[in-house]
Every structure is written in C-alpha cells, then in structure tokens.
Structure 1
Amino acid sequence: MVRGLRVSMVLLAVLGNLAWSFSAKANFNGKLTVEIDGLKNKQGQVCVSIFASSEGFPSDRNRSLQKQCTKITSTPLAISFENLKAGSYAVAVFHDQNSDGTLNSNVFGIPNEGFGFSSNPEIRTRAAKFSEAAFLVAGPETDIQIQLKYF
C-alpha cells in the first residue's frame, strides 16, 4: 500500500512537471517566416494570410489572424510574421499581379493569378481545406515554404 502511494506521488510529480513545462513553452511568441517560391514574374505584390482555424480559410482575409501584402523585390520572396502563440495554423498566399488586393479569377471561378497554401497540398478542383494546409508553430522560429500554382 505504501509503495503504491509512493508510485502515485511520483507519477503526479512527473505529470505536474510535464504540464508546467508544456504551459511554459506554450506561452512564447514565435516568429513565422513564409518563403514563397514559383512566382511567374515580379509584377504587383504577394498577399499572405495566416489563419488559426478553418473559419474563413482560405479566402476571407478579414477572418485571418494576421495578413500582409508585400511588393515583390526578389524570388523566392520571404515574408515574416511575429507574435504567434504555439498552435496549429494554415497560410494562404496569392500573387496579386495587378495590386488590387484580391485573387482574380475567370467566369468559371478559376484563378487568373498564382496562389498557394502551407503544406503545399495537391489542388485540383477546389481550394485547400484548413486541415490539408495546417502546420504547427511549436518553437520560437518556424519556417515554411509555399510553392505557387498558376492555371
């Protein structure tokens, strides 16, 4: 009985230390660097949106956690975001060639401009789902690479 109690106390201490360790690591603010490759040209800008859930992903930029558009100065292009908590995220990118702030498409809804998603899922007849593009931020610096696609 005493031995069982001692094992239980040790187990509780270990679990307590693990929980403290995880919560301490989860309180950091991380930096995400998104490298965008496959740009067809340097016209316009690249717009990147980070989502923390499937709500609005990938096209409702107003529901994104962070977003920014950057003039294309080099290829590949790297864009960084600060102050991300540990967790699961998905990124949507598009090459805004005419700098109008939207991903332009034809009458059938097929994009006229380049686009891409984190985790580079295969794209055929629809945009990626959050679960297909999700990745983890679990440290102070996370780097991902997105390959743009053009139709």
Structure 2
Amino acid sequence: MSKKLKVSLVVLAALGNLALPLMARASFNGNLTVEIDGLKNTEGQVCASIFASSQGFPSDRDRVLERQCTKITEKSVTITFTNLKAGNYAVAVMHDENNDFTVNRSDIGFPLEGFGFSQNPEIRNRAPKFDEAAVLVAGANTDIKIHLKYL
C-alpha cells in the first residue's frame, strides 16, 4: 500500500470519527427553559410562542411551533418547551393582562401590554427579525431569560 493511500485512509477515518458526534447531536432532542421577568404586575397570564423559522415570527399564530400560557403568581415566570430538535428557535412573549390571548394596541399601534423576545434585542420601530432573536438549542437543557418591555 502506498504512503499516500495510507495517509488518505487515516484522514478519512479521523473525519468519520469527527462526523459521528455531529450526526448524533443533530438528531438529539432538548429542552428550552425561558425565564420571563420584568412583569409590572401579576394580573392575567404570560404567553410564550416558539418559532422554528423566520416564517411568521413573531406574530403569525399559524406558524407557531408551540404556544404556552401560564397564570402569573409572581413577578417572574418560567416556561419550558420540551422535546425540541437541535437547531435555532426564537421566542416571543407577551404579558396578557386581560386574558384575551392578544397583544392589545393603542390607536396608533403601540403595544399596551408587555412583550419581549429571546436574546432581548433592542426594539426601535419594528419587531425583531428571527435572526436577531434566535437561540441555539443543541444540548439537553438550554436556559434563557427574557425581560419584558412596556411602552
């Protein structure tokens, strides 16, 4: 066997050993735990929606991967999304003070209830894009914190 062939086989074997953990990780399922703070009161509920792509983020209910709402009992709330495939996700959260499952808005379109997004991007004159809020879930447990904003 030639020296070049031996080197090529060693390199291929090494690459195969590197690829195996990556392939195993790609089929791995994990949890995303979201701690939500900054609530101005304990009225109503907090609803969190998780998106697996930019399509529909952050407000198209038909594109939500999963939505969870929980009654507020303290100034901080925790919601966990389970059994997620490895990948990027973005979370949109609202403080639904009147339990109508909608972000209520003023006559000129400003949110009247608290809201927030994963990665806590700065909000200027538009909602963040998926890439600005994306979080990588690649392990058994990923924890993030979202701080609500009120206008």
Same fold (TM over 0.5): yes
* Corresponding position of 2:123: 123
Aligned pair 1:9/2:9, yes or no?
Answer: yes
Unaligned runs of 5+ in 2: none
Matches within 5 A, 1:39-54: 39-54=39-54
Could you give the per-residue CA deviations for residues 79-136 of structure 1, whole angstroms, max 9, x where no partner exists?
1111001001100000000000011111111100000000000001111110100110
SS at match of 1:8: helix
Q: Distance in 2 between matches of 1:34 and 1:119?
A: 11
Give yes or no for contact 2:28–2:138 (8 Å, CA) kept in 1: no
Give yes or no for contact 2:49–2:67 (8 Å, CA) kept in 1: yes
Q: Distance in 1 between matches of 2:22 and 2:124?
A: 39
Normalising by structure 2, report the TM-score: 0.96
Q: Distance in 2 between matches of 1:62 and 1:37?
A: 26
Percent of matched pairs sharing the same residue: 66
Q: Distance in 2 between matches of 1:3 and 1:42?
A: 72
Matches within 5 A, 1:9-28: 9-28=9-28
Give how far 1:62 is off.
2.2
SS at match of 1:150: coil
Cα RMSD between the aligned structures? 1.1
Which has the higher mean CA deviation after the structures are superposed, 24-33 or 141-150?
24-33
* Corresponding position of 1:109: 109
Runs of 4+ in 1 over 4 A off after TM superposition: none
Aligned residues: 151
SS at match of 1:145: strand
SS at match of 1:4: helix
Unaligned runs of 5+ in 1: none
Give yes or no for contact 2:96–2:103 (8 Å, CA) kept in 1: yes
